[in-house]
Structure 1
Amino acid sequence: MSERQTMPNASQHLARPLAIAILVTGSFLFAANHVAARVAFDDGTGVLLAILTRGSIAFLMMLTLVLAQKHRLSIPSGKRRWQCLLGIMIAGQSLCLYSAVARIPVAVALLLVNTWPILYTLLTWLLGGRRPTLRLTLIMTIILIGLVMVLDLGTWLADPAAMGPDWLPGVILAESAALFFAVAIWVTENRLSQLPGAIRSVFTMMTVLVLMALGGVLGIVPGGLNLPQSQAGWVGLASLAALYGTASTILFVLVPRLNMARNAPVMNLEPVASLLLGFLILGQTLAPVQLLGGAVVLSGIVWLSLMRQG
């Protein structure tokens, strides 16, 4: 999730090739985290356990950085309910995304989740913000057409069984993750923008951990805390925690110097990275029409990101 920091002077920004290289690396690390998660889930690992593991590592890293920077760990009284809502939204996004990754190809799940800017635009409009322009509506329509191709809806409608029993739940979960994230971004930008990003991140991650632990204790998600069944699952679990913690910490530290207003669309490479890694590690492949649809979706998302940054 993007963090709004005090904007550095242009001279403090890293050279653009280096900034882009860091963002590309971050995209691959996040994609690898989801591929590792699929390895863990295929070995019986519970979704809640995966979120708790990765969240604990990320929380400790972020907390260490916050304390090193001597930030005061407190939330103004008027912002506490919004900070709580932000944590709930990120918890929901994490749970739905990992649940989707466990059911459908990683690349498809991430393409669906990365449509959150469409939902954010519509949410902003519904809550009294600016009405989408004709060009924005056109871009969103193009993305939706691409999604129809990615999801291969023609095949699914002709023979739902051909896509497997987990296809529809996986798609619903992935799009739910996009909705949760859209709400989280709206809360961040409209209610918590004055709160330092470091403080916001620590309290958000803490809320996620508390909710996942509570969900595990109450048995809300059946099998949510199941342990891996073999060495492959343990490797996947350890890898997803290390990859997510490393990627989030790198971006957490370097975002103020990466000139995100100009370079943020690079992060949309994550679905492409997941497609490559999913093929190399998991053997997941998409049909040609799905690959073409993915290209359409990704192009639309990048175009939409450029508009939002402008």
Structure 2
Amino acid sequence: MTDIAERPADGRWAGLAALIGGACIIACAPILVRLTGAGPAATGFWRMAFALPILAAMNARAARDAFAPPGRAALIAGAMFALDLVFWHYGIALTSVANATVLANLTPLIVTAIAWIVFKQRPERMFLLAVVVAVSGAWIMAAAKGGAPGKAPLIGDLSSAATALWYALYMLAVGRARRTDGAMRVMFWSTLSALPILVAAALIMRERLLPLGLGGWAACLGLGVVHVSGQGAIAWALGRLPASTASVVVLVQPVVAALLGWMLFGEMLGPWQAVGGAVALAGIVLAQWASRPAKAQAA
């Protein structure tokens, strides 16, 4: 894929394909997080640390000025993504799986609201309906899965809700950075800026810093590869698609994660989970239809 920052009209489908592919890859991350044995923030640190050398090499090949001082948006994206990882991991640990999933998947609502209020990008009514349908599908899946209340439900709920805010700001920041910089440059600098926040969080929370055994280190390496390929594809797609549209499409993640849990861990899919997955996918398709360029809608 050519690493460009423009949004050519004929590249919309390429951006959509990259976005879906990246979301499917990212869906593997929770499985690898289970296997690291390190603390929540520490796991995020190792994810970034293993990804950074790969991104540095790819960034060096992408442009001559790859390591010139970054723009503010790329640094903000890194800080937001670090906070996203910390709050998401702790949300899972402290509240029910259902609550953590539902609250963290409110990202499309937040992205659409910020784009509307701050950037004056008023969404179409059909797109708003698509957002509600997609988020409802994720809610049905999470509610069907249920789970124990968690060690500290209120704190866990707040942490999970904050996750949606941090990821929304991350996507908006990446979308803004991609107006002037290539995807690999944005990924490199955002990853680098996330490292100190993650290691600071791990030390403050007194987490276990090192993974458990070779299997834990292999899982951290896998997370690094997932970050480069999955988030890299999403960052590339954000150069061709609006952040509001992208935030809806990435809701394919819980659907893919549920399928992987069924195939790898024998976590059976109930009828309501299947219904929720179908509703979420319908919302994603509707969002794409509603956000087509004006010429395509007229045709």
| TM-score strictly above 0.5 | yes
Corresponding residue for 2:55?
62
CA RMSD between the two structures: 4.1
Which protein, 1 or 2, shows the higher relative CO under an 8 Å CA cutoff with sep ≥ 6?
1
1:5 corresponds to 2:36: no
Rounded to whole Å, the distance in 1 between the matches of 2:155 and 2:284 is 24
CA contact (8 A) 1:58 1:248 kept: no
1:176 corresponds to 2:169: no
Corresponding residue for 1:200?
186
Rounded to whole Å, the distance in 1 between the matches of 2:25 and 2:138 is 24
CA contact (8 A) 1:107 1:278 kept: no
Q: State the one-letter code of the partner of 2:282.
A: S
Determine helix, strand or coil for the equivalent of 1:222.
coil
Corresponding residue for 1:220?
204
In the TM superposition, what whole-angstrom CA distance separates every residue of 1:77-113 from its partner, at most 9, and x where no partner exists?
xx43x44322211211222233345567989866754
CA contact (8 A) 1:35 1:106 kept: no
CA contact (8 A) 2:104 2:160 kept: yes
Q: State the one-letter code of the partner of 2:131.
A: M
Rounded to whole Å, the distance in 1 between the matches of 2:161 and 2:288 is 18
1:241 corresponds to 2:224: yes
Moved more, 198-207 or 185-194: 185-194
Determine helix, strand or coil for the equivalent of 1:152.
helix
Shift of 1:294: 3.4
Q: How many residues end up aligned between the 2 structures?
A: 286
1:126 corresponds to 2:111: no
Corresponding residue for 1:289?
272
Shift of 1:181: 1.8
CA contact (8 A) 1:122 1:132 kept: no
Shift of 1:55: 0.7
TM-score (norm 2): 0.73
Moved more, 27-36 or 128-137: 128-137
Corresponding residue for 1:210?
196
In the TM superposition, what whole-angstrom CA distance separates every residue of 1:185-241 from its partner, at most 9, and x where no partner exists?
22343466223333222111110012112333xx32331x43344555444334323
In structure 1, list runs of 5 or more residues that go unmatched: none
- Correspondent of 1:36 among 32, 36, 46: 32
Instruction: Show the 5 A alignment for 1:15-164.
Output: 20=17, 26-40=22-36, 44-72=37-65, 73-75=67-69, 79-80=71-72, 82-100=73-91, 113-152=104-143, 163-164=149-150
CA contact (8 A) 1:107 1:272 kept: no
CA contact (8 A) 1:89 1:180 kept: yes
Shift of 1:25: 5.4
Rounded to whole Å, the distance in 1 between the matches of 2:98 and 2:64 is 37
Between the two proteins, what is the percent identity of the paired residues? Answer: 21
Rounded to whole Å, the distance in 1 between the matches of 2:288 and 2:89 is 24
TM-score (norm 1): 0.71
CA contact (8 A) 1:115 1:301 kept: no
Q: State the one-letter code of the partner of 2:59.
A: V
Change (3 A) 1:144 1:277: closer
Shift of 1:67: 1.4
Q: State the one-letter code of the partner of 1:118.
A: L
Q: State the one-letter code of the partner of 2:163.
A: A
Change (3 A) 1:83 1:36: closer
Moved more, 101-110 or 300-309: 101-110
Change (3 A) 1:127 1:6: closer
CA contact (8 A) 1:100 1:174 kept: yes
CA contact (8 A) 2:96 2:149 kept: no
